[in-house]
Amino acid sequence: MARARVAGVRAFALAPGVLERVADAVTPQGILAAARLPVATLEAVRPGTVLVLCDLRDPGNVGTLIRTADATGAAAVVLTGPGVDPTNPKALRASAGSIFHVPVVVAELDDALADLRAKGARILASVVRGGGDPCASDLAGPCALLIGNEAAGLAEAVVARCDASLTIPMAGRAESLNAATAGAMLAYEAMVQRRHGRDPRTF
């Protein structure tokens, strides 16, 4: 509280029971903050690794991928389709504050792909099978990593518009990975390649 006051943030003590009534969480953390969310546009997105979330429906996945983008130094997160609003309370909590640190854009898929291609990005689809090994693919340069809907994945028409497809190798019997997990693995591999150059490692 002392640090908040030094920073010019006004702080108020709430009467017992007030926080429980206004918070949407079952067990709120005991503190509530009001802040203005930054507004990002496609035009402001710099070249780099961009996570493009296509019609994701789970706010926890969206928030986790925003947090992942921040942690791996991605240039932005772009949400397309009729999926989760990034300001959804669960998405905000899952982002753990990263929504304030990485540009988050809501845009039409056509506009996003056109803008990112114009900035030199390769458009890469994440698919369950049939794609290239991410570790043997060039992710060091500007690229858009498309992550599909949790149930249906990316539409075939969308995959056909991409420059290449990526499939994360799996050793066990799981049919697929959670969308947030797959996105995190691809974003991390892109970060490793940006730092150390392309490396033909395999999982």
Residue 61: both structure tokens together: 């996945």
**Span 85-131, pLDDT tens digits:** 999 999 999 999 999 999 999 999 999 999 999 999 999 999 999 99
Predicted local confidence at residue 203, as pLDDT: 36
Task: Kindly write down the DSSP assignment for every residue of 54-122, as one continuous string.
Answer: ES---HHHHHHHHHHHHHTT-SEEEEESS---TT-HHHHHHHTTGGGTS-EEE--HHHHHHHHHHTTPE
Averaged pLDDT, 164-178: 93
pTM: 0.87
127 with 152: CB under 8 angstroms?
no
139 with 47: CB under 8 angstroms?
no
pLDDT above 90 for 175:
no
**Span 42-56, pLDDT tens digits:** 999 999 999 999 999
Report the chain's mean pLDDT, rounded to a whole number.
Answer: 91
pLDDT above 90 for 188:
yes
- Quick one: how many helices (H) and strands (E) in the chain? 7, 6
Q: Domain ranges in the chain? A: 42-196
Averaged pLDDT, 10-15: 83
* CA separation for the pair 33, 63 (Å, rounded): 18
Cβ atoms within 10 Å of 66's Cβ, excluding its own: 31
Q: Return the CATH fold of 42-196.
A: Alpha/beta knot (3.40.1280)
179 with 186: CB under 8 angstroms?
no
